[in-house]
Structure 1
Amino acid sequence: MERVWLKRYPSGVPAQIDADHYPSLLDIFSQSIEQYADKTAFINMGKSITYRELDQKSIAFAAYLQSLGLKKGDAVAIMMPNLLQYPVVLMGILRAGCVVVNVNPLYTPRELEHQLTDSKAKTIIIVENFAHTLSDIQDHIQLEHIILTKMGDMLGCVKGNIVNFVVKYLKRLVPSYNLKSFVSFNDALKQGAELPLQKPTLVGSDIAFLQYTGGTTGVSKGAMLTHRNMVANLEQVTGCLDTFFVKGEERVVTALPLYHIFALTANFFTFFKYGATNLLITNPRDMPGFVKELKGFSFTAITGVNTLFNGLLNTPGFAQLDFSTLKLSLGGGMAVQRPVAERWQKVTGTRLLEGYGLTECCPLVTVSPYDLAGFNGSIGLPAPSTDIRLVDEEGNDVAKGESGEMLVSGPQVMLGYLNRPDETAKVLKDGWLYTGDIARMDDEGFFYIVDRKKDMILVSGFNVYPNEIEEVAAMNEKVLEVAAVGVPHDVSGEVVKLFVVKKDPSLTEEEMIAHCRQHLTGYKAPKSVEFRKELPKTNVGKILRRELRDEEIKKSTKA
């Protein structure tokens, strides 16, 4: 496919990047720590830590890990929400030469057991709130070391003790657990501070992360992301933004969890490289508390998913915040809906731009250029050094303007899935990653996601894409959240069903269907609407259509 998108790149954005600019992520750490030593790196719950302090603590943690006998390439798991401990632990693991295994704290015992067993993790750093999950499976896994932390461990003696007391005894957020043996995080830091660190020799081909996919369509798979993959993706991100951001002056809001690939790259690594101050939000689902934290933080950038932006817009007090310093709002993880993007721009005065990525690509593949006047419904232009093809079911390139499965090639594409050569072979073919997403490209090189291949609805032989239905439904001001799925039908094979969370209690099924029929051709319009108090979501707020669809299939089977 001709790289027509290069002509649309803003001035200063390179066509190619050097994926070997830094030998490993450790070199990026060293560069930023040297340049921004006394600047605030992270803030959480009112407590801040400088780049210099982060350097010292992460070195101590790395030395402690090595003292446990961990060697280069050993897997170490992290299971916690956004806390100041996260950057210390993350950097410490990499500085010890080990591989980071990010774990969703909300995992069930079964899911946790699978990930720890599959990755062969020897050590886990876990926050006390979720220790009960680990204790349930400790007899079934080959874990050698457990490092236990509490929510307030890095907030200072007085505040930390208060937070830990409130979390455990007043809010009762720490279920009882029975771990056989563990070391406290603070003790690990103290011991590590007295130990020397043996700096590992890392090269680009060494694995940095085993980043597990959500597993919504089967068993969770560990994408093997190398230091070169991650460095390349950071070079691609900063290549797009170097003329837009000012080094040492940016302030970013990180509400998405750092254990998710989007926040890991877009928030942690990107803004660490820029010497930014990063505000970590531990519980973004507490929207009033989230808005309260934003009041005292003059942020220049914020990332999120559509549901997060929508939630903020519907939280009292958000519209009254000072947005005078805000330069970039970036959505990913799921489709940004036009009504949300347009309202965001009206309230904040800043464009809500969309990017697209996959765990298998570290994740950035495409991103909207910063000079875009406003939301245009696209996922933007391919990142530098990224090639994209659109193919039909037979693997042939589709004609210009037509939709096809998106294939990606670039230095950010993973090595493959750990322990799963069969699954790897399904998605990596002849140097191309088969994404499973259906897209089209316009004349300027902007790409538009039509939908997930597996989420597509087939009505009487016609392809119906949920994104389109959901965007139309969201245009109704009485709708808060919406999901469209295909449900079995005797005549047409499938029909569209909507699941809606109301913003206005007066909304009816008849009104919703009539609204959709006004904007959609007949076979695309929903035939039924089910109202719910909430919709099932992933850990980052992405609505799980598959779960809703499975419910409907079970109903039809029983009937």
Structure 2
Amino acid sequence: MTVLLNGRPLRRIHNVIDPWVSASPDAPALLDRTASLTYRQLHEAVEGAAQRLGELGVRPGDRVLVVCENCVAVGVLLLALSRLDAWAVVVNARLSPREIDTFAEHSGARRVIYTPDVSLEAGAHARRVGAKEEFWPLTGRLNIGPLNGPAVAEQTHTDPAEQVAVMIYTSGTSGSPKGVMLTHSNLLFISEVARSVRLLSPQDTVYGVLPMAHVVGLSSQLLGALACGSKLFIESRYSAEALADAILKRGATVFVGVPAMFSKLLEWSRANGVDISRHQLRSVGAAGSPLTPELKAQIEAAMQTTLQNSYGLTETSPTICQTLLLSAPRNDCSVGPPVPGVEVRMMGSDGRDVARGEVGELWVRGPNVMKGYYRASDLTAESIQDGWFNTRDLARQGEDGGVFIMGRTRELIIRSGFNVFPVEVEQAINSYPGVVQSAVIGRPAEGNEQVIAYVEPEANVYVDTDDLDRWVRQQLAPYKVPAEIHVIEKLPAAPTGKVLKGNLRELDVLRSAERRATHPGG
């Protein structure tokens, strides 16, 4: 089996650059703040890296952990491992030593490679295990961890729908890690979506700050740009000032970020009096977490362009739905229709499809669905049934086909018998002046659940919780109004900017325990 990308049959993700190596070898492909590669140089770097990896004992079917932050070297390593039919396991260097060790052990990694030039944390991890420094031509300085001699290589497949290209971990800070196995076919399909739906082309400069240790940064951002002959400007870490520099001075034409990035860009531009409408962006998109109508309206007013929305998961490589760039701009916060080739259905608790417009659990089927969870056949069988993957998200589909995400199944709050979708409450809170973002969680309360809100304000802005409470009561039914609103300086977030609600629940448990200790019986 082969996958068609722009009409060309491909079997492996490293093949996405082949047409551009031939057609435009001197065009820029990958660049970061310190390095730059044309498509010809990228091809040479990948070949050289693949040879060196082989010399280091990496075999087809081996897993290689790449502990990194965004840089040119990560792109080279990903394609080089593809040439060897080894699996790239890309993890963020800002994780703790325990998390890194857990992933290395669970994956049975043959080698662990570190990118110290862009990440002090990666260097620290490398020193901890005695990794050796090497300099690879066109790739740069890397630290190479010890060889895991007992590592067992997985079986390889010529079929791109069977051969795993990358493995991405979706958890591991608590409990067993989940290694999502994404095949070459999965990722090549998303590359075709970048061309056909996002309309990327060789004329585009993509600004890539979403971490490549996460699926959007690796799949849609990196491989999507390279498959379309675009230039990808890679940023190791997000800052509003760097984003403004990229879109106002460096000619970026495409940017996808999480909503929190847009909130911080607005805050920065207002504080510094910078007009962010004078950009060259032709496509601006949000992904990774819910987009509120207020933020969408504010960004569109400030940037004078339509903010596109999308939805996906690590297990779906990631894209499931996306609003259409030119043909159907939306004024609401729908994530758009399913991308071509992908099917969705909303199912009720009885296992039957709900009526159009009603909320149900979202299932998806298509060439984007993962091969499964590594070394977790029971969990895979539970999640994928007859080709349909259960996202565990609640959603509804409008008459025009646009999908609206209501929240995670496990995040649903049941208050006095009524369903409360956290995203609805968060949208109301986020519309209050001075609020950057918020997160709503449920707290058990004597056979019931309370709605609890945590709010991150703009820098140097005081948010009066009593006034915010009155604001929310004007917009929501009484049972949806938070029992408590807490203002904290920063919401806990992943490197992508996505709010970590699990961390908030832990914080809330600690706060509740402290309150009971301070006010027993109160």
1:447 aligned onto 2:403: yes
Residues 153-552 of structure 1: pairs in structure 2 closer than 5 A: 202-204=158-160, 205-215=162-172, 218-241=175-198, 244-245=199-200, 247-284=201-238, 286-316=239-269, 319-321=274-276, 323-371=278-326, 372-490=328-446, 493-503=448-458, 505-552=461-508
Instruction: Return the offset for 1:385.
Output: 1.2
Instruction: Return the offset for 1:424.
Output: 1.0
| Preserved CA contact (<8 Å) 1:109 1:134 | no
Question: How far apart are the structure 1 equivalents of 2:368 and 2:84?
Answer: 23
State the match for 2:152 in structure 1. Answer: none
- Letter of the aligned partner of 1:489 in structure 2? A
State the match for 2:14 in structure 1. Answer: 26
Question: How far apart are the structure 1 equivalents of 2:145 and 2:506?
Answer: 39
Select the structure with the greater relative contact order (CA < 8 A; seq sep ≥ 6): 1
Residues 42-57 of structure 1: pairs in structure 2 closer than 5 A: 42-45=30-33, 47-57=35-45
SS at match of 1:445: coil
| Preserved CA contact (<8 Å) 1:239 1:384 | no
Question: How far apart are the structure 2 equivalents of 1:258 and 1:148?
Answer: 22
Instruction: Return the offset for 1:295.
Output: 3.8
| Preserved CA contact (<8 Å) 1:97 1:202 | no
State the match for 1:4 in structure 2. Answer: none
| Preserved CA contact (<8 Å) 2:321 2:337 | yes
1:381-434 CA-partner distances (Å, limit 9, x unpaired): 101111111111221111221110000110111111000112112211122101
| Preserved CA contact (<8 Å) 2:308 2:323 | yes
1:66 aligned onto 2:22: no
| Preserved CA contact (<8 Å) 2:323 2:330 | no
| Preserved CA contact (<8 Å) 2:205 2:253 | yes
Question: How far apart are the structure 2 equivalents of 1:155 and 1:430?
Answer: 43
Task: Give the counterpart of 1:97 among 85, 94, 97.
Answer: 85
Instruction: Return the offset for 1:149.
Output: 6.8
Q: Is the deviation greater in 525-534 or in 25-34?
A: 25-34
SS at match of 1:107: coil
Instruction: Return the offset for 1:273.
Output: 1.2
The change in CA–CA distance for 1:46 and 1:134 in structure 2 (over 3 A counts) is: closer
- Letter of the aligned partner of 1:221 in structure 2? K
Question: How far apart are the structure 2 equivalents of 1:275 and 1:19?
Answer: 14
Give ranges in structure 1 of 5+ residues lacking alignment: 1-15, 140-145, 165-176, 183-199
1:117 aligned onto 2:73: no
1:133 aligned onto 2:125: yes
The change in CA–CA distance for 1:489 and 1:238 in structure 2 (over 3 A counts) is: same
SS at match of 1:551: helix
Instruction: Return the offset for 1:69.
Output: 2.6
Instruction: Return the offset for 1:217.
Output: 7.0
Instruction: Return the offset for 1:510.
Output: 0.4
- Letter of the aligned partner of 1:88 in structure 2? V
Question: How far apart are the structure 1 equivalents of 2:85 and 2:273?
Answer: 42
The change in CA–CA distance for 1:318 and 1:267 in structure 2 (over 3 A counts) is: farther
Instruction: Return the offset for 1:134.
Output: 5.0
Question: How far apart are the structure 1 equivalents of 2:134 and 2:498?
Answer: 28
State the match for 2:150 in structure 1. Answer: none
State the match for 1:194 in structure 2. Answer: none
Instruction: Return the offset for 1:109.
Output: 1.6
| Preserved CA contact (<8 Å) 1:126 1:147 | no
Question: How far apart are the structure 1 equivalents of 2:178 and 2:416?
Answer: 34
State the match for 2:151 in structure 1. Answer: none
Residues 141-156 of structure 1: pairs in structure 2 closer than 5 A: 146=131, 148=133
The change in CA–CA distance for 1:314 and 1:153 in structure 2 (over 3 A counts) is: farther
Q: TM-score, normalised by structure 1?
A: 0.83
Instruction: Return the offset for 1:497.
Output: 1.4
Question: How far apart are the structure 1 equivalents of 2:209 and 2:499?
Answer: 17
Instruction: Return the offset for 1:531.
Output: 1.1
Give ranges in structure 2 of 5+ residues lacking alignment: 148-155, 517-522
The change in CA–CA distance for 1:61 and 1:422 in structure 2 (over 3 A counts) is: same
Percent identity over the alignment is 26
SS at match of 1:320: coil
1:326-382 CA-partner distances (Å, limit 9, x unpaired): 111111110112211111111111111111111111111111111333442111110
Question: How far apart are the structure 2 equivalents of 1:399 and 1:289?
Answer: 45
SS at match of 1:31: helix
- Letter of the aligned partner of 2:165 in structure 1? A
- Letter of the aligned partner of 2:263 in structure 1? N
| Preserved CA contact (<8 Å) 1:24 1:203 | no
Question: How far apart are the structure 2 equivalents of 1:287 and 1:423?
Answer: 39
Instruction: Return the offset for 1:108.
Output: 1.1
Question: How far apart are the structure 1 equivalents of 2:348 and 2:474?
Answer: 31
Question: How far apart are the structure 1 equivalents of 2:216 and 2:439?
Answer: 22
Instruction: Return the offset for 1:147.
Output: 5.8
